A and B are shown apart, each in its own frame.
Chain A
């Protein structure tokens, strides 16, 4: 089923445009060659090597300068503050950060105030996004009322209103019976249940990964089994019910065993990982650096390396930014009291390229987890360079180095763990439905 997205620009049609002199990468088809594409009426009309140097006449021409042209990224876990905490982030500011980061579709999480647990609120998000956002915005609705973990939401009606999938946001559903019923019920609607796998009783008082670093810092830990227990339980429930299940962000190498086994058994189980857990580890917390405090917590280097290998092997399906804007005031507190969360939309691509440059993962493999895989998982038309597909594209210089300056980021909150990080790979142009929504350096902040 094809889902509709709300975006302020997607409805406008732009002049037909040819993107020439590009290095085309399409993770779906495996295309990795010089060439170009033609975009008309918001969709890809032509693609290939024959468009490398020459565009058909009568088109606007964009010379990509030999840079990579690939599908725009799809970020399946974005928290905003709209509605309820607009001072942190709105759909508009999140979409600007997304565009600057090469992300053309964002899936926003239901953890807002009020929680997105009703048809009218799904409608609210879609309308606000249509009027204000410059990238496509999809809504993840709550699985339980008020994210309380007890009463199932109107999964069927929410889906008809446009909810793309269902999640209990940042909290796990502790009640096994409720989770079973949700998976069972969701199956009838072929709805995807996305779940944060962290046992609330085991993780409640923890502030960082349980282990030596936490012990030395005198911080209470979140044990790894808090994640695997919930994941193992959920897989059993999937086995029983047949409901489609996606573990939102796994972090421990033991979780990979669970996922692999579920996939070997052909269960409808997939998983994601946040960019933070692919590029950072618990040692980055150093002396109580709260910008590295996230949920689930950063794990050991061994775990991080295992996550990267799992991207390489395809055991982890998708990479998300887990973009989570927080006030500076909420971060500048003693570690245990500081808010969880890190922004990540704008640095998503560049950080993901670290997997390529530092960890040796093929570029196409990295991009797969950011484009076609989430597209397939959530039933989106985008995420591919194919004739007829939506012209959601990015052009980026994979080699260009830059240093993150949080003051120049588009996100309204500045809680990035990558401030002053040296990254490689810069987005030059972001196109949504054929319309350029970000051009570097014209639209960059200075």
Chain B
């Protein structure tokens, strides 16, 4: 796939970043190239840049988040922007304001970028239609989380040197996972082969239509993969509704050394966090030498800087 300086200097064609579904390989590679530079910058003592000086970014999180919100905040601040974190639990949303009223209210404050996480799929896109600034989707229900997929792709590319042709297994609660959906879209666009592994109760219907190969058995699904991407299993889903117990889930779907041995010897181990040690991943595997879980966090800041930089070309001057 083309990876030249020329493409990365092309103007990013989207005003918002809402989904990976519409991201072309070209655009994604451009973002990853930018992120690579940001990653270098982030390892310097002086990380501050001037690109977004005078700009305002609002973190609007309707769902609790530590790492994603902090990651966006750091990314924006390193680019020189002012950051406002909206604490939804004490905001007017709790007083019954609708999502669209919140959007209109915030828009009136003339922010340049709003980063939104919402528990309902499609909510972020809805909000983006009502504001004049750029909107970044930081997770909408079980739909999309594009910066997660980008940071995963960056982590893989830096560790493996490429993405095209790699065999990636996404394992766990695929049905309820926006991380899975975003990664399936992006990895497919970038030329990886994607498998999803889940019990049938956590497998979305017609997985083949997503361009992935579905497995309901971890040992079979991990055979020969280059990357093992684990998903978080939410507590309320492991008490008999979708899976009988965390014990049984760990036995059949938790990543331990036995199951990991089916993957390629140099397979990467990834997890979007926060981890349930002993549920979807064994502690020893999480801390394994091939685990790139900490790199994922580091690349998270870099990727978000790249996204902000790409979107900055659309900001009103």
Contacts and interface: CB of A to CB of B under 8 A. Distances in A.
Given A188-B216, A188-B217, A152 B200 contact: no
A151 B251 contact: no
Nearest to B245: A154
Contact of A152 (B217, B240, B252): B240
Given A144-B240, A151-B240, A181-B242, A157 B201 contact: no
Contacts of B245: 154
B91 interface: no
Main DSSP-derived SS at the B contact region = loop
A178 B242 CA distance: 9
Interface in A231-264: 241
Contact of B200 (A144, A151, A187): A187
Interface residues of A, number: 17
Given A181-B201, A185-B201, A152 B216 contact: no
Given A188-B216, A188-B217, A154 B200 contact: no
A155 interface: yes
Contacts of A419: none
B240 A185 contact: no
Interface string B214-229: 0011000000000000
Given A188-B199, A188-B217, A157 B240 contact: no
Nearest to A145: B240
A154 B247 contact: yes
A84 B154 CA distance: 59
Contacts of B211: none
A184 interface: yes
B200 A184 contact: yes
A384 to B, nearest CB: 31
A185 B247 contact: no
Contact of B244 (A152, A187, A241): A152
B244 A184 contact: no
Interface of B: 199-201, 216-217, 239-245, 247-248, 251-252
Given A155-B244, A157-B248, 4 more contacts: A153-B240, A154-B248, A188-B200, A241-B200
27 contacts: A145-B240, A150-B240, A151-B239, A151-B240, A151-B241, A152-B240, A152-B241, A153-B240, A153-B244, A154-B248, A155-B248, A156-B244, A156-B248, A157-B244, A157-B248, A157-B251, A178-B241, A181-B242, A184-B200, A185-B201, A185-B243, A185-B244, A187-B200, A187-B216, A188-B217, A188-B252, A241-B200
